[in-house]
């Protein structure tokens, strides 16, 4: 009897451990193509489809009051505050929550200007690698310079809507906002704010990174 009870207890322990392991394996952030944020869930209304779920955390920072106001645009990016400020002729008209480059891939400080605008931009460096037959993600944070797709695998570049390039490969765009600096160097914004910034800048607009 004692041996049977011990066997039952051992079975229950193994079952519990299996359930816990399954839970951990399925605890990835929601959304498709999640790759440390850059191509994963981005701050966009939930109606945007499976690739664009709602923001990861509430945003009580971002606002836009620049409609109908004219003046020369200027953007200031404050990495310590994780905010971007939009000015028109010196008047603050909008603030956006951001996620800038993480510690080992920081967004470099300096004075720049917008050199390119691309509404439906896709990264040429970062994305995900998937199995062509099954659609399963093999590498959710791929850097095409060092992560090459294997046989039967495909590289999908990370989407970067409303891309505003200001320093070589670095720019502002719609992206996942975990609440801290987490990108590969770019400056991610909520979708509604990247749209406003995109609509109100032109090539040559100054960008100051502090």
CATH number of the domain where residue 145 is located? 2.40.440.10
pLDDT at 94: 98
pLDDT at 29: 35
Average pLDDT, the chain: 80
Task: Please count the other Cβ atoms lying within 10 Å of the Cβ belonging to residue 186.
Answer: 29
> Which residue segment(s) compose the domain that 101 sits in?
31-209
Q: Is 9 helix (H, G, I), strand (E, B) or coil?
A: helix
pLDDT at 6: 45
Q: Is residue 102 part of a domain?
A: yes
pLDDT at 47: 36
Count up the domains in the chain and report the number: 1
Q: Is residue 145 part of a domain?
A: yes
Low-confidence winner among 36-40, 45-49, 83-87, 131-135 (lowest mean pLDDT): 45-49
Q: Is residue 22 part of a domain?
A: no
Quick: pLDDT tens for 3-36: 444 445 444 444 443 333 332 333 233 333 333 4
Q: Is residue 66 part of a domain?
A: yes
| Mean pLDDT on 73-78 | 98
H or E element: which one contains 173?
strand 170-174
Rounded CA gap, 165 and 201, in Å? 11
E strand intervals along 21-109: 63-64, 73-78, 83-88, 91-97
| Total-model pTM | 0.71
Q: Which residues contact 20 (CB under 8 A, 6 or more apart)?
A: none
Residue of 112, 126, 181, 196 lying closest to 155 (CA atoms): 126
pLDDT at 116: 97
Quick: pLDDT tens for 82-108: 999 999 999 999 999 999 998 877 899
pLDDT at 110: 97
Residue 68 has pLDDT above 60, yes or no: yes
| Mean pLDDT on 32-53 | 39
More confident residue, 158 or 114: 114
Q: Is residue 86 part of a domain?
A: yes
Q: Is residue 82 part of a domain?
A: yes
Q: Is residue 73 part of a domain?
A: yes
Instruction: Give phi and psi for 15, each to the nearest 5.
Output: -65, -45
pLDDT at 168: 87
Q: Is 193 helix (H, G, I), strand (E, B) or coil?
A: helix
Q: Which two tokens stand for residue 165?
A: 């390039």
Residue 81 has pLDDT above 80, yes or no: yes
Tell me how far apart the terminal alpha carbons of the chain are, to the nearest angstrom.
72
Specify the DSSP class assigned to residue 44.
S
Q: Is residue 11 part of a domain?
A: no
Quick: pLDDT tens for 144-202: 899 999 999 999 998 999 999 999 889 999 998 999 999 889 999 999 999 999 999 99
Q: Band of the pLDDT at 56, cuts 50, 70, 90?
A: low
DSSP bridge pairs for 112: 207
More confident residue, 53 or 81: 81
């Amino acid at each position: 009897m004692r041996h049977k009870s011990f066997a039952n207890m051992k079975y229950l322990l193994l079952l519990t451990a299996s359930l816990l392991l399954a839970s951990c394996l399925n605890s990835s952030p929601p959304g498709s193509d999640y790759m440390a944020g850059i191509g994963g869930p981005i701050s966009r209304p939930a109606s945007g489809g499976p690739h664009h779920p709602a923001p990861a955390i509430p945003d009580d920072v971002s606002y836009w009051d620049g409609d109908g106001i004219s003046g020369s645009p200027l953007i200031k990016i404050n990495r310590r505050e994780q905010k971007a400020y939009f000015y028109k002729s010196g008047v603050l008209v909008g603030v956006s929550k951001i996620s800038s480059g993480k510690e080992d891939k920081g967004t470099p400080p300096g004075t720049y200007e917008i050199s390119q605008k691309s509404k439906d931009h896709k990264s040429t460096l970062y994305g995900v690698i998937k199995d062509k037959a099954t659609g399963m993600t093999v590498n959710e944070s791929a850097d095409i310079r060092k992560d090459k797709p294997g046989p039967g695998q495909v590289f999908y570049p990370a989407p970067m809507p409303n891309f505003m390039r200001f320093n070589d490969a670095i720019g502002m765009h719609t992206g996942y906002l975990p609440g801290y600096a987490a990108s590969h160097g770019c400056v991610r914004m909520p979708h509604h704010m990247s749209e406003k910034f995109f609509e109100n800048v032109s090539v040559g607009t100054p960008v100051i990174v502090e």
